[in-house]
Amino acid sequence: MTAQASETRPADSRVGPAVGLVFGALAIVYVVWGSTYLGIRIVVEEAPPLTSMGLRYTTAAVLLGALLSLKGGLRRLRVTRRQLLGCAFLGLMLPVLGNGMVAVGESLGAPSGVTALLIAIAPLIIVVFRVVEGDRPRGLTLLGVLTGFGGLALLVLIGSNGAQAFPLGAGLLVLFASSCWAFGSYVQPRLPLPKDVFVVTVYEMLAGGLILMTIGQLSGERFTGDYSTRTWLALGYLVVFGSVVAFTSYVWLLANAPISLVATYAYVNPVVAVFLGWLILSEAVTPAVVLGGGIVVASVALVITAERPRRTRQAATASSGEPVPDPDPA
């Protein structure tokens, strides 16, 4: 049931449960997408980053494709060659150069919470792409971008020094991943893609997963499978909950909740990630993380709020390493 359709129905006893479903789905997006950084960090402690993320996305694509086929038949998965190429490009920019490089960065020592904060700047990078293209964002948007990059500099330059430092190279690699994710999200509406966002996601994840596994094998990675139960549970969590359940919840929210409410995930996810990294992995929450990360999160919130009337959906870009649909599917 779409949001428009729900407005034409009289209030009845289902209003309460609908509200509960909205906040239940929002909680899934908040917690699950915020926890994917923790899951990735656990996986790459033992498993090779590129191959393991390739396995994650390939498996998730097969599962989601099977679910779509059961509901709508194989014809639902039909795409043209141009649409398939569009999905493959998104697979390269998002799962491969985005999420794949996040996994490599975390394997090199970037804490999961800091990684989430660095990925959170994707909406700010999109504004930069808009300026380069000739768009003129609002003053509050530009203020949010400037303060956000200030917080980013504090987070990376100061956070990579001291007793609880993380490698600067790992942080820069995550920033590269965030830029690729932002670029893929920015060009997405210009690509020839299927109208069904779930179909886009199937082929995007499938292409990205296959590319990741290929690059992993060519680079000398060996996925032996001889890993601890903890690693396999984390990888299974990323497949089922991170790539299927949370994304399905997000798409459902787009049709059943105000986009301004849904967009809040972009600055809640990093907070969840920092908390879980501290709670489960004992990652240090240094003054640089608190101050720099707080500035980044506040800046993203400012940009999303400022852009709400005209570009809310484009501002709600990914900060978790997962596909995010725009008015045209991602």
Radius of gyration, alpha carbons of the chain:
19
Q: What average pLDDT does the segment 324-330 reach?
A: 40
pLDDT at 163: 47
Confidence band (pLDDT; 50, 70, 90) for 162?
low
- Site of tokens 């792409």: 129
Torsion of CA 264, 148, 167, 213, to 10 degrees: 50
Q: What average pLDDT does the segment 163-177 reach?
A: 82
Dump pLDDT digits (tens) for 243-258.
Answer: 999 988 988 887 788 7
Query: Taken in order 266, 64, 98, 52, is the CA torsion positive or negative?
Result: positive
For the chain, count helices (H), then strands (E): 16, 0
Q: What average pLDDT does the segment 153-166 reach?
A: 68
Confidence band (pLDDT; 50, 70, 90) for 135?
confident
12 pLDDT exceeds 50? no
Q: Global pTM? A: 0.84
pLDDT at 157: 76
Cα(first)–Cα(last) distance of the chain, in Å? 21
Nearest partner of 121 among 164, 175, 71, 57, judged by Cα = 175
pLDDT at 36: 95
pLDDT at 160: 60
Length of the chain: 330
151/320 Cα distance (integer angstroms): 19
Rounded mean pLDDT of the chain?
Answer: 84
Dump pLDDT digits (tens) for 76-115.
Answer: 999 999 999 999 999 999 999 999 999 999 999 999 998 9
Q: Of 128-132, 159-163, 257-261, which has the strongest mean pLDDT?
A: 128-132
317 pLDDT exceeds 90? no
Percent of the chain with pLDDT over 90: 49
Nearest partner of 95 among 207, 200, 193, judged by Cα = 207
38/241 Cα distance (integer angstroms): 13
61/77 Cα distance (integer angstroms): 12
Q: What average pLDDT does the segment 160-172 reach?
A: 72
